[in-house]
Amino acid sequence: MREKKTNGNFDRKALLKQSNSDQPLVPAEKVELSPLAIKVAAKYRNESISPALFTGLMRIWEFLIVFLCGIGVYFAYVGIQEAHLLEYFMANTLAASLYVIFAQFSSGYRPSVLRKPFRYLGRLIISWAGVFATMAILAFLLKISAVYSRVWFAGFAVSGFVILALSRILAAKLMRILARSGRMERRAVIVGGGQNAEDLILALNQQPDNDIRICGIFDDRGDRRSPPVVAGYPKLGNISELIEFARVARIDMLIVSLPISAEERVLTLMQKLWVLPVDIRLSAHAANMRLRPRAYSYIGSVPMLDILDKPINDWDAIAKRMFDIVFSLFGIVLFSPIMLATAIAIKLDSKGPVIFKQKRHGFNNEVINVWKFRSMYVDQCDPTAKLAVTKNDSRVTRVGRIIRKTSIDELPQFFNSLTGSLSLVGPRPHAVSANSNNMLYNDVVDGYFARHKVKPGVTGWAQINGWRGEIDKPEKIVMRTEYDLNYIENWSLWFDLKILFLTPVRLLNTENAY
């Protein structure tokens, strides 16, 4: 189901609340999911493939098969003639490009169209016929028709259509397989129960070719206004439990079924939910107030107001992953002599392993192992980081002081980035028990876990702006969080590249590195 995107935005600064000395800090209580919620979450542990990503891959695939089909016919009939090789190459590239453009304009890449290739065969015929009509007109106007073989032209037209039709049939079969296995869908949770939720669910279920999988309902209310089952879907818990549920299950979207007029309650919900790496939509299905159509996004014909979008999603995520792989490999090769010399120095300086593994918070608050060169004596290492390293700390070895000061101890994290547990650029991961004045960071800053809406990084925007090293005051973690959230909101590959190249320069300032 296509969802038209708008540039909806929500004021993050209105949600990020900073603790201060006038208010006592109370540690957050651990949330336990109900047995039913745990069972449901287990069904959705694996990531799904979004329809937008699938249709994007379909465009690339059809471009390639059209191009290769034209090349195949050329080699089979015309043969390799260097005199016209470039002309045929350009003609095949043009044909592949035109087909993708025409198919796009005819809505040929909608999931509903791809699922039913026989019903929408006419769109394929029109798009493919348009390609050869355009090429024939161009060849006539440019007076280059004599360059191309008529047999190649006809053979390309027939074989290309057959291959595209087969491709569409296979794509429809693959989509059915992925849908049955729960791998191609947008998983949604309804926030809020009662009649509003029931009306919304019924409206969504009536949409043809709906790709929304409703995983359950969460609501703080426990009275008659919010029964345990709504339109056949169980209520799995309250809002606090929803946050934990969304960290266990791979959820794509939260749909708030409250009235638009309930502004205070919506804001209260957003203060809790915005830390999650999901799209958040406010249902406008039952709203009496009607805005202009462009103010809404749509799931089928059901109107939604965009509150928050998941950062770095679909093709952006693929681009960022490729960026990480390329530059991680480059970093490993470039710094391999330094890493080898550091490993030898550590081994000669003190007994114990060269690499130190520490559990830290990763994407969506998952616990990951982050690799560093060991900088402390083995019997005094602190894997939980309950006691922060301070200036002239006796636990740090002689080599450790040097590599911590210069950040050489972080170089093994290039391998974390290569394997995918870290990104090269992102909010720096903190140890699971890291604290400030005996308070965990998430107890010091409301909204702290919003840093985990993207993968943590080897370097980050906060670090190159001077917020690195010891966190001995609550204000320091507040500022780190502010810079990290600014990075998430303004992410781009160019921003990553800027941070990456500024990192060596900014690390020359070692004032706060112990």
CB-CB contact of 500 with 506 (8 Å)? no
The one-letter amino acid at 3: E
CA distance 12 to 280: 13
Can you give the pLDDT at residue 2? 42
User: For 216-272, what is each residue's pLDDT tens digit?
Assistant: 899 887 767 778 888 888 889 888 889 889 888 888 899 988 776 677 788 888 888
Q: Are 62 and 164 in contact (CB under 8 A)?
A: yes
Could you tell me where the beta strands, DSSP code E, fall in 170-294?
186-191, 212-218, 229-230, 233-237, 253-256, 279-283
pLDDT digits (tens, 9 = 90+) for 142-163: 888 888 888 888 999 999 999 9
Residues 6+ apart with CB under 8 A from 166: none
Residue 19 pLDDT: 44
The count of other CB atoms within 10 Å of the CB of residue 317 is 16
Res 81: pLDDT: 62
pLDDT in tens, 399-430: 888 888 888 889 999 999 999 999 999 998 88
Q: Rounding to the nearest 10 degrees, give the CA dihedral for residues 388, 394, 400, 401.
A: 90
The per-residue pLDDT for 371 is 92
158-167, 267-276, 440-449, 459-468 — which one is most confidently predicted on average? Answer: 158-167
With a cut of 80, say whether residue 391 has pLDDT above it.
no
Q: Are 210 and 255 in contact (CB under 8 A)?
A: no
pLDDT at 275: 85
- pLDDT at residue 422 in the model: 93
pLDDT value at 512 more than 60: no
pLDDT 10s digits, 32-66: 888 898 998 888 888 778 888 888 899 999 999 99
pLDDT for res 61: 94
Cβ neighbours of residue 113 closer than 8 Å, sequence gap 6 or more: 107, 120, 123
Multiple choice CATH, 12-46+185-308, 3.40.190.10, 3.40.50.1950, 3.40.50.1010, 3.40.50.720: 3.40.50.720
Of 513, 458, 453, the C-alpha closest to 486 is 453
Give residue limits of the domains in the chain: 12-46+185-308, 51-180, 315-506
Q: Which residue has the higher pLDDT, 19 or 192?
A: 192
- Residue 470 pLDDT > 50: yes
What's the rounded Cα separation, in Å, for the pair 166 and 355? 52
- Is residue 442 very low, low, confident or very high in pLDDT (cuts 50, 70, 90)? low
Task: Give the separation between CA 276 and CA 227, rounded to whole angstroms.
Answer: 26
Q: Name 214's bridge partners.
A: 188
pLDDT for the residue 416: 94
Mean pLDDT, residues 80-84 = 65
pLDDT at residue 301, rounded to an integer: 77
- Tell me the C-alpha distance between 121 and 99, whole Å: 14
Task: State the sign of the Cα–Cα–Cα–Cα dihedral 436, 437, 439, 445.
Answer: negative
Query: How high is the pLDDT of residue 11?
Result: 55
Return the pLDDT at 436: 59
Q: Which comes out higher in pLDDT, residue 337 or 248?
A: 337
- Split at pLDDT 50, 70, 90, the class of 384 is low
**Confidence (pLDDT) at 59:** 93
Which of 80-94, 144-158, 493-507 has the least mean pLDDT?
80-94
* Percent of residues in the chain assigned helix, strand, coil, to nearest 5: 50, 15, 35
Mean pLDDT of the chain: 82
pLDDT above 90: percentage of residues in the chain? 28
Question: Is the pLDDT confidence value at 481 over 90?
Answer: no
Beta carbons within 8 Å of 149's beta carbon, 6+ residues apart: 77, 78
pLDDT-derived band at 293, boundaries 50, 70, 90:
low
Confidence of residue 282 (pLDDT cuts 50, 70, 90): confident
Q: Which of 424, 439, 410, 308 is nearest to 8 (CA)?
A: 308
4 pLDDT above the threshold of 50: no
Q: What is the pLDDT of residue 328?
A: 95
Identify the pLDDT of residue 430: 81
pLDDT, residue 343, reads: 93
Lowest mean pLDDT among 94-103, 281-290, 376-385: 281-290
Q: Give the confidence band of 88 by pLDDT, cuts at 50, 70, 90.
A: confident
What per-residue confidence (pLDDT) applies to 469?
A: 65
Question: Residue 296: is its pLDDT beyond 50?
Answer: yes
Interior/surface letters 156-182, b for 16+ CB within 10 angstroms, e for the rest: bbeebbebbbebbeebbeebeebbeee
Q: Residue 513: its pLDDT value, please? A: 55
Predicted confidence band at 10 (pLDDT cuts at 50, 70, 90)? low
pLDDT band at residue 295 under the 50/70/90 scheme? low
